[in-house]
């Protein structure tokens, strides 16, 4: 690994100041896990890393209001996994984290890093998209909020401008919405997903009012599947056939990418099956525990 | 290594057959065990290798200027530098075909082209990336069957090494990629096929995989005192010494090879890997040099042969196999390594553990432009078993016979001649098969699942000959206080050989195994051993150790006689005290072992004694198939083996499941992917080995009650037997569950799903 | 070069580190052998160390970031020369072969049992899924974790 400079500012303000530069080789670091992998592989050679680890602890806090859970971007994935608030309000996130990377990585990796990295094989983005989450982005003197769906724009690409940091993630409380995530690995169980399927269903009595389906890993970035969502809108939750139709619609509209984890044709079949199963999981999980 | 804290049992009974705790327990559990990985010498340089990015090319020029100019770089070496020290810098156990650094030509992507030396490994790494090589591309060949006739020739000249007595006839053919062809003919196959009631012919394939020990290759050479000391993670220290001495034109005693613990080997760390490069570098710069490969670089160092196997069987109306023809093409990659030996040694077991009168075998070791292939836990056997045990079920199914019954009818029974003509001795094939069937409750009704989850089960049995003829030498050194050193060059890479060897010596000497300290391989001190490979140590070195201990014991008894004290009851320390007047002196016992062997006839492959013993391994599995996705889940795996009499039953158990789980990875998930000969997944992130969540819910192991009469205390090897049956057992279970047959490894979920779609008349079209 | 101060296995220490050095490199220059780099990618756990009581992959952790931290490695023993409950259980079950992965498994098992004194087999497998053992000593390791849990319970 090439030498570089490591700075550890003690406040967000200071960090934003250090990042306010046109120099593309200055990068923020959360847990540094993804950065370190890229630097070891020689695909990233920063001149300076601005570590966020020592900024105010508030940026790692998890809190709730009446209608949303707010997670600081510096919260580690294991802090989120074990948070009482997340477990009771957003159990699908706690469940997702259990098979995301491993204990040691989760102890270090941050939510901000997980989202900003924009590796299409990340597990959290599709879940957060299905849950309707947004990121709060800060830059020197400004703050903006953006749906997670609009954050990741391509293969390792985000809409973050240079000098911008993700500082918080806001996830609406789900109330009557039921959700599930399926991580599909095609090699060993500890692999990154070949396909991620997240669903969130709003129901009114026996009728599905709205469905959000987000898929990832088989694409260059996480995507919503509009046609499959449309099939579910207004359908009865007792209608098993509609789940099959939704799976078929998902398979028809998705354009998966072939790689060593599987051919495009096979991934399309996985989408068909796992969208249906994820919907089933979500319906079964109603009122269930994490 | 030895645990000085290990308490000796008060009333030690027999030492063999006891699950003695491993000698290295404390060191390994506290993280204090020493591996070459940790070794640092004063003034040491780190070497980083610049590697070829193309599979086959002539080298027009190597530009090392930018690398040399990088601050902190000590020296950059290419073949030109090596050639000044070693005029013919080619090495290898079967062929002297592998250059220390590429000379004029590269033959695979990943081949070492230059070496950068620096005190800071990060600097060396950065500099290695700056080396520019000008290549003139050559046509390349990657497939083993194509290599038979390809115009792309990997080696213009073939240079057999003549190291092994049984490979003396090796003289590869010019202008072909065939490093070795091995043939066996027995009976009259043509006639038998003509008369057979049924003839079956199938082709099977296995993929290229690799060992991936968690301690990657690492060697350190120290040129102090006008000699060379090589500290290396090697399974074959004696070979390293001889080969390095040969390259340098030095006497053996000027080269010293030391091996502490190995962080895994599995056949990867055999013969020469980094040792020649590190030795040359250290002698050129006259400083200690260490080269520690990364996980990625292991993918460019040694792998397991991909193979294509064609197998044709004639079966009579009663279900007896009357004729078998096997053709095997081994993809050896760019350098032969031990591939020719795999081709021959495994080749003759290609018809399986079956009693067949008419056999024809052709087995070819082929050069291709892929990373070299060598020995990996089973030495070619798992590839062969994949073919013959898959076909066994296919035949049984086709003739409407139960697969267990089919095997019972055909297996080799004690005393019957194997394909080479060598009679089977102490080979518990039938017993292993029956124990497996009992454990699986083969006759009992089986829950076949329903809906989208279908269940099935399958079994497979394989066998392996040992490596012969090979030599082992051991020394037992009894000190005046009655404690004892055992000196042998067997490498403990996790298989607990230190403990097993101590048990054997202790049994002879009538002392607890804990009292015997095992000296790790150091060629200045520990005597010759061919190598730690092929499950040979327990038998070969076990014999040598037993003889050395017997020699020591006889000398102690003679000493007692000389001193006129009762030989059986006088404590050892008293003998020394009486002899020397104080606590002083040693008694040294020596033992060596070379098993009997009759070379195979070149034309027919026949031999009256092709192996000192046979290893038998069988695996049965129960699986679930998700018919919507093709995902196969192994819910139960049973491994049964004939290990002779187990020296250490707990260790035998661990060896069986360890080998079987490794083979599970080779069956379901592991695969090296290539693009134009370049590995595209060279990391543990993209090459997936089994982890905790990939294990079958239930794993059972059994070593049958057996005895190898010729073995030390009835024992024989077991390190590989667990691998034999795994792959075909799973394929057989898949057919049992869902009626589709997979003939290529790995069996990915996608492959199963595609087969299901095809069987349903709706093949999955590619997009 | 930067000077950092941290607590290593209960002792205050000072070290000179380069920003691009990771924790394994640092610990090895300090003579510790227990954390080793193998995969270098956070997957195998051979490099496991505890930072402020939490397990991390030393291969993906900048040494400089240990400044002010409490670091524990496999070398830390409660009583000099004695194996703890987890190590005893690993010894009893023969839960290692080549030993390269073993310190990582022992440290992770301690963490698991500290959080979850009576883990189910499924919980054990999940918790340890980020530790690889190429010798595939997994069945013995699972048994060792279960045994350690039982010994701890009996001792409590
Ligand atoms: C062995 C292993 C297995 C893994 N398996 C999985 C898996 O199965 N599923 C999965 O989803 N993930 C997996 N991961 C990825 C893991 O989740 C990421 O490494 C992690 O989330 C990145 O977080 P970090 O805080 O370490 O990011 P960093 O490495 O610190 O940063 C990553 C990127 O984000 C930028 N960045 C960091 N913080 C911010 C911020 N607050 N605002 C803006 N930009 C920022 C950095 O500049 C960098 O470009 C795995 C990782 C490893 C090492
Ligand atoms: S070396 Fe760090 S996890 Fe493998
Ligand atoms: S014991 Fe060898 S890798 Fe685990």
What residues pair up with B639 in beta bridges, in sequence order? B619, B701
Q: For residue C97, give the nearest of B31, B32, B495 by CB distance.
A: B495
* B669 contacts in chain A (CB < 8 Å): 187-188
pLDDT at res. B167: 56
Q: For residue C127, give the nearest of A5, A53, A103 by CB distance.
A: A103
Q: For residue C97, give the nearest of B34, B494, B660 by CB distance.
A: B494
User: Is the domain A182-284 a CATH 3.30.390.50 member?
Assistant: yes
Domain that holds residue B393: 303-411+421-467+601-759
Residues B455, B323 share a domain: yes
Q: Which residues of B243-280 are buried (b: 16+ CB within 10 A; e: fewer)?
A: bbbbbbeeeeeebbbbbbbbbbbbbbbbbbbbbbbbbb
B433 has pLDDT over 50 = yes
* A259 contacts in chain B (CB < 8 Å): none
Residues B459, B550 share a domain: no
Residues B403, B478 share a domain: no
> Once rounded to an integer, what is the mean pLDDT over residues B473-482?
97
The DSSP result for A24-80, as a single string, is TTEEEESS-HHHHHHHHTTS---SEEEE-TTS-GGGG-EEE-SSEEEEETT-BHHHH
Q: Which residue in chain C is spatially nearest to A108 when comparing CA positions? A: C56
Q: What is d(CA B670, CA B661) in angstroms, rounded to the nearest whole number?
A: 12
Which long-range contacts link B736-740 to residues 24+ away (Cβ below 8 Å)?
B736/B456, B736/B457, B736/B458, B737/B448, B737/B449, B737/B454, B737/B455, B737/B456, B737/B623, B737/B624, B737/B625, B738/B454, B738/B456, B738/B625, B738/B627
Predicted confidence band at B166 (pLDDT cuts at 50, 70, 90)?
A: low
Q: Which residue in chain C is spatially nearest to A192 when comparing CA positions? A: C43
Report the percentage of chain C scoring pLDDT > 90.
94
Q: What is the mean pLDDT of chain C?
A: 96
Ligand 3 atom with the smallest distance to the CA of B214 is 3
Name B483's Cβ contacts closer than 8 Å, sequence gap at least 6.
B515, B516, B517
Residue nearest to atom 28 of ligand 1 (CA): A32
CATH fold for domain A5-51: 3.30.43
Q: Is C40 in the pocket of ligand 2 (CB under 6 A)?
A: yes
Residues B569, B646 share a domain: no
Tokens 């010293």 label which residue?
Answer: B256
User: Is the domain C2-75 a CATH 3.10.20.30 member?
Assistant: yes
Q: Is C130 in the pocket of ligand 2 (CB under 6 A)?
A: no
CA of B459 to the centre of ligand 3 (A): 28
Residues B699, B606 share a domain: yes
Interface of A with C in 22-41 (CB under 8 A): 32-33, 36-37, 39-40
Note the ipTM here: 0.97
Q: What is d(CA B713, CA B733) in angstroms, rounded to the nearest whole number?
A: 37
**How buried is residue A191: exposed, middle or buried, by Cβ count under 10 Å (0-12/13-18/19+)?**
buried
Q: What is the CATH superfamily name and number for domain C85-155?
A: [2Fe-2S]-binding domain (1.10.150.120)
Give, in order, the Cα–Cα distances in Å from B342 to each of A72, B213, B305, B440, C53: 58, 21, 9, 32, 49
Within 6 A (CB) of ligand 3 lie: B 214, 264, 494; C 96-102, 133-135, 137
- The tens place of each residue's pLDDT in chain A, 290 residues long, gives 888 999 999 999 999 999 999 999 999 999 999 999 999 999 999 999 999 999 999 999 999 999 999 999 999 999 999 999 999 999 999 999 999 999 999 999 999 999 999 999 999 999 999 999 999 999 998 999 999 999 999 999 999 999 999 999 999 999 888 999 999 999 999 999 999 999 999 988 889 999 999 999 999 999 999 999 999 999 998 899 999 999 999 999 999 999 999 999 999 999 999 999 999 999 987 643 33
Domain stop point among B556, B577, B593: B593
C87 to chain B, closest Cα gap in Å: 6
Give, in order, the Cα–Cα distances in Å from B156 to each of A124, B367, B588: 55, 11, 51
Is B182 part of any domain? no
Phi, psi of A280 (to 5 degrees): -60, -45
C94 to chain A, closest Cα gap in Å: 24
Q: C136–B692: do the CB atoms touch at under 8 Å?
A: no
B432 has pLDDT over 90 = yes
* Span C102-130, pLDDT tens digits: 999 999 999 999 999 999 999 999 999 99
* Span B526-572, pLDDT tens digits: 999 999 988 889 999 999 999 999 999 999 999 999 999 998 889 99
Residue nearest to atom 17 of ligand 1 (CA): A114
pLDDT at res. A290: 34
Residues B536, B451 share a domain: no
Q: What is d(CA C67, CA C26) in angstroms, rounded to the nearest whole number?
A: 12
The answer, for B53 touching chain C at a CB cutoff of 8 Å, is: no
Interface of B with C in 115-134 (CB under 8 A): 122
Residue nearest to atom 3 of ligand 3 (CA): C133
Residues B480, B463 share a domain: no
Domain stop point among B279, B298, B317: B298
CA of C47 to the centre of ligand 2 (A): 5
Q: Which residue in chain B is spatially nearest to C142 when comparing CA positions? A: B692
Chains contacting B (3 or more CB pairs within 8 Å): A, C
pLDDT at res. B11: 58
Chains contacting C (3 or more CB pairs within 8 Å): A, B
The residue of B24, B30, B125 whose CB has the most chain C CBs within 10 angstroms, and thus the best one to mutate to test that interface, is B30
Let me know: does B182 contact B363? Beta carbons within 8 Å: yes
Is B190 part of any domain? no
* Span B668-690, pLDDT tens digits: 999 999 999 999 999 999 999 99
Tell me the catalytic residues of B. Answer: 720
Q: Is C43 in the pocket of ligand 2 (CB under 6 A)?
A: yes
pLDDT at res. B464: 96
Ligand 1 atom with the smallest distance to the CA of A37 is 53
pLDDT at res. A287: 43
Q: How many domains is chain B partitioned into structurally?
A: 3
Q: What is d(CA C103, CA C33) in angstroms, rounded to the nearest whole number?
A: 10
Q: B629–A269: do the CB atoms touch at under 8 Å?
A: yes
Q: C64–A37: do the CB atoms touch at under 8 Å?
A: no
Strand (E) or helix (H) holding B144: helix B144-147
pLDDT at res. A288: 39
Q: What is the mean pLDDT of chain B?
A: 94
Let me know: does C116 contact B511? Beta carbons within 8 Å: no
Q: What is the CATH number of the domain that holds B572?
A: 3.30.365.10
pLDDT at res. B15: 86
B5 has pLDDT over 60 = no
Predicted confidence band at B169 (pLDDT cuts at 50, 70, 90)?
A: low
What residues pair up with B453 in beta bridges, in sequence order? B450, B626
CA of A19 to the centre of ligand 2 (A): 30
Residues B367, B389 share a domain: yes
What residues pair up with A198 in beta bridges, in sequence order? A181, A214
B493 to chain C, closest Cα gap in Å: 5
Based on its alpha-carbon atoms, the radius of gyration of chain C, rounded to whole angstroms, reads 16
* Span B310-359, pLDDT tens digits: 999 999 999 999 999 999 999 999 999 999 888 888 889 999 999 999 99
Of residues B496, B444, B460, the one with CA closest to residue B639: B460
- For A57-172, CATH gives 3.30.465.10
Give residue A106's Cα distance to chain centre.
14
Pocket test for ligand 1, best of A8, A20, A25, A30 (most atoms within 8 A of CB): A30
Domain stop point among B233, B268, B298: B298
| CB–CB contacts below 8 A, A to C | 74
Q: What is d(CA A188, CA B689) in angstroms, rounded to the nearest whole number?
A: 7
For the whole prediction, is pTM greater than 0.90?
A: yes
Predicted confidence band at B1 (pLDDT cuts at 50, 70, 90)?
A: very low
C58 to chain B, closest Cα gap in Å: 15
Q: Which residue in chain B is spatially nearest to C38 when comparing CA positions? A: B214
Where exactly are the structural domains of chain C?
A: 2-75, 85-155
> Once rounded to an integer, what is the mean pLDDT over residues B4-15?
66
DSSP C46: T
Q: Which residue in chain C is spatially nearest to A97 when comparing CA positions? A: C126
């Amino acid at each position: 690994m090439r030498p570089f400079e490591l700075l550890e500012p003690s406040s967000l303000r200071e960090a934003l100041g250090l990042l306010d530069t046109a120099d593309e080789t200055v990068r923020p670091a959360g847990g540094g896990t993804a950065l370190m992998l890229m630097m070891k592989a020689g695909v990233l050679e920063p001149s300076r890393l601005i570590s966020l680890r020592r900024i105010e602890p508030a940026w790692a806090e998890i809190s709730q209001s009446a209608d949303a859970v707010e997670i600081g971007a510096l919260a580690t994935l294991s802090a989120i996994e074990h948070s009482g608030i997340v477990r009771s309000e957003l159990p699908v996130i706690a469940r997702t984290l259990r098979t995301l990377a491993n204990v040691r990585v989760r102890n270090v990796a941050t939510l901000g890093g997980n989202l900003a990295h924009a590796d299409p094989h990340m597990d959290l983005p599709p879940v957060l998209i299905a849950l309707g989450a947004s990121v709060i982005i800060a830059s020197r003197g400004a703050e903006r909020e953006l749906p997670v769906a609009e954050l990741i724009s391509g293969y390792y690409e985000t809409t973050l401008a240079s000098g911008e940091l993700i500082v918080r993630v806001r996830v609406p409380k789900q109330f009557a919405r039921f959700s599930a995530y399926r991580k599909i690995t095609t090699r060993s169980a500890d692999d990154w997903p070949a396909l991620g399927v997240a669903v969130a269903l709003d129901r009114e009595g026996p009728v599905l009012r709205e469905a959000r389906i987000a898929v990832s890993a088989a694409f260059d970035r996480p995507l919503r599947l509009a046609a499959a969502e449309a099939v579910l809108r207004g359908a009865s939750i007792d209608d098993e056939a509609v789940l099959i139709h939704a799976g078929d619609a998902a398979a028809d509209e998705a354009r998966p990418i072939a790689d060593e984890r599987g051919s495009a044709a096979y991934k399309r079949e996985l989408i068909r099956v796992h969208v249906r199963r994820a919907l089933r999981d979500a319906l079964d999980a109603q009122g269930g525990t994490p | 290594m030895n645990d000085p804290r290990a308490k000796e049992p008060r009333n030690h009974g027999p030492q063999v057959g006891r699950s003695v705790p491993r000698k290295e327990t404390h060191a390994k559990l506290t993280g204090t065990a020493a591996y070459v990985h940790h070794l640092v010498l004063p003034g040491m340089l780190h070497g980083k290798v610049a590697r070829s990015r193309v599979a086959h090319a002539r080298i027009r020029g190597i530009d090392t200027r930018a690398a040399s100019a990088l601050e902190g770089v000590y020296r950059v070496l290419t073949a030109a530098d090596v050639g000044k020290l070693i005029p013919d810098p080619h090495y290898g156990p079967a062929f002297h075909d592998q250059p220390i650094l590429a000379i004029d030509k590269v033959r695979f992507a990943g081949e070492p082209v230059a070496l950068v030396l620096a005190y800071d490994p990060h600097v060396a790494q950065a500099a290695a990336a700056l080396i520019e090589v000008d290549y003139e591309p050559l046509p390349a060949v990657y497939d083993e069957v194509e290599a038979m006739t390809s115009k792309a020739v990997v080696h213009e000249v073939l240079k057999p090494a003549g190291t092994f007595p049984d490979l003396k006839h090796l003289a590869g053919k010019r202008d072909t990629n065939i490093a070795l062809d091995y043939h066996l003919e027995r009976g009259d196959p043509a006639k038998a096929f003509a008369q057979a009631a049924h003839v079956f012919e199938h082709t099977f394939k296995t993929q290229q995989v690799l060992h991936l020990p968690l301690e990657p290759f690492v060697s350190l050479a120290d040129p102090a005192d006008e000699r060379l000391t090589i500290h290396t993670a090697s399974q074959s220290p004696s070979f390293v010494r001889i080969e390095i001495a040969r390259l340098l034109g030095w006497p053996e005693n000027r080269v010293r090879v030391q091996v502490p613990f190995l962080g895994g080997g599995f056949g990867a760390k055999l013969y020469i890997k980094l040792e020649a490069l590190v030795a040359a570098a250290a002698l050129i710069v006259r400083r200690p040099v260490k080269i520690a490969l990364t996980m990625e670089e292991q993918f460019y160092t040694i792998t397991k042969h991909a193979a294509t196997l064609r197998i044709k069987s004639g079966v009579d109306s009663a279900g007896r196999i009357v004729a078998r023809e096997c053709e095997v093409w081994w993809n050896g990659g760019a350098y032969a390594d031990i591939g020719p030996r795999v081709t021959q040694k495994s080749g003759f077991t290609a018809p399986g553990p079956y009693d067949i009168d008419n056999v024809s075998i052709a087995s070819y070791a082929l050069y291709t432009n892929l990373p070299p292939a060598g020995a990996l836990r089973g030495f070619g056997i798992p590839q062969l078993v994949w073919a013959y045990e898959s076909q066994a079920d296919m035949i049984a199914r086709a003739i409407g016979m139960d697969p267990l019954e089919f095997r019972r009818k055909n297996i080799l029974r004690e005393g019957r001649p194997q394909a080479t003509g060598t009679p089977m001795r102490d080979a518990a094939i039938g017993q292993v098969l029956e124990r497996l069937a009992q454990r699986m409750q083969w006759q009992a009704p089986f829950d076949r699942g329903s809906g989208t989850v279908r269940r099935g089960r399958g079994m497979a049995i394989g066998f392996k000959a040992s490596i012969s003829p090979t030599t082992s030498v051991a020394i037992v050194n009894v000190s005046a206080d009655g404690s004892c050193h055992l000196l042998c060059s067997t490498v403990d890479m996790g298989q607990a050989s230190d403990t097993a060897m101590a048990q054997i010596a202790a049994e002879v000497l009538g002392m607890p195994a804990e009292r015997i300290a095992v000296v790790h391989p150091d060629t200045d001190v520990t005597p010759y051993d061919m190598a730690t490979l092929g499950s040979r140590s327990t038998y070969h070195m076990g014999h040598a150790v037993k003889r050395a201990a017997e020699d020591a014991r006889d000398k102690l008894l003679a000493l007692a006689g000389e001193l006129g004290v009762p030989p059986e009851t006088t404590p050892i320390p008293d003998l020394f005290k009486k002899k020397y007047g104080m606590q002083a002196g040693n008694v040294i016992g020596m033992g060596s072992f070379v098993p009997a062997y009759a070379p195979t006839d070149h034309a027919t492959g026949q031999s009256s004694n092709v192996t000192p013993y046979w290893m038998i391994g069988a695996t049965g599995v129960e699986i679930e198939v998700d018919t919507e996705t093709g995902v196969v889940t192994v819910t139960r795996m049973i491994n049964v083996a004939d290990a002779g009499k187990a020296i250490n039953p707990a260790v035998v158990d661990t060896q069986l499941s360890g080998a079987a789980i490794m083979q599970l990875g080779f069956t379901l998930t592991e695969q090296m992917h290539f693009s134009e000969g370049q590995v595209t997944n060279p990391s543990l992130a993209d090459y997936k080995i089994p982890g905790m969540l990939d294990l079958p819910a239930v794993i059972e192991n059994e070593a049958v009650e057996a005895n190898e009469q010729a073995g030390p205390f009835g024992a024989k090897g077991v390190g590989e037997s667990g691998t034999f049956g795994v792959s075909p057992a799973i394929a057989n279970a898949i057919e049992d569950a869902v009626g589709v047959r997979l003939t290529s490894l790995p069996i990915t979920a996608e492959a199963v799903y595609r087969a299901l779609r095809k069987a349903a008349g709706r093949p999955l079209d590619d997009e | 070069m930067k000077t950092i101060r941290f607590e290593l296995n209960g002792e205050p220490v000072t070290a000179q580190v380069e920003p691009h050095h990771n924790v394994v490199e640092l610990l090895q220059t300090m003579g510790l052998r227990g954390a080793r780099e193998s995969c270098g990618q956070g997957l195998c756990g051979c490099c496991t160390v505890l930072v402020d009581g939490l397990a991390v992959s030393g291969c993906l952790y900048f040494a400089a970031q240990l400044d002010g931290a409490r670091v524990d490695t496999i070398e830390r023993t409660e009583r000099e020369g004695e194996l703890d409950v987890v190590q005893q259980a690993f010894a009893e079950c023969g839960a290692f072969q080549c030993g390269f992965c073993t310190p990582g498994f022992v440290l992770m098992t301690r963490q698991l049992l500290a959080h979850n004194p009576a883990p189910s087999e499924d919980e054990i497998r999940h918790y340890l899924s980020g530790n690889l053992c190429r010798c595939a000593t997994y069945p013995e390791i699972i048994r060792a974790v279960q045994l350690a849990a039982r010994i701890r319970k009996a001792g409590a």
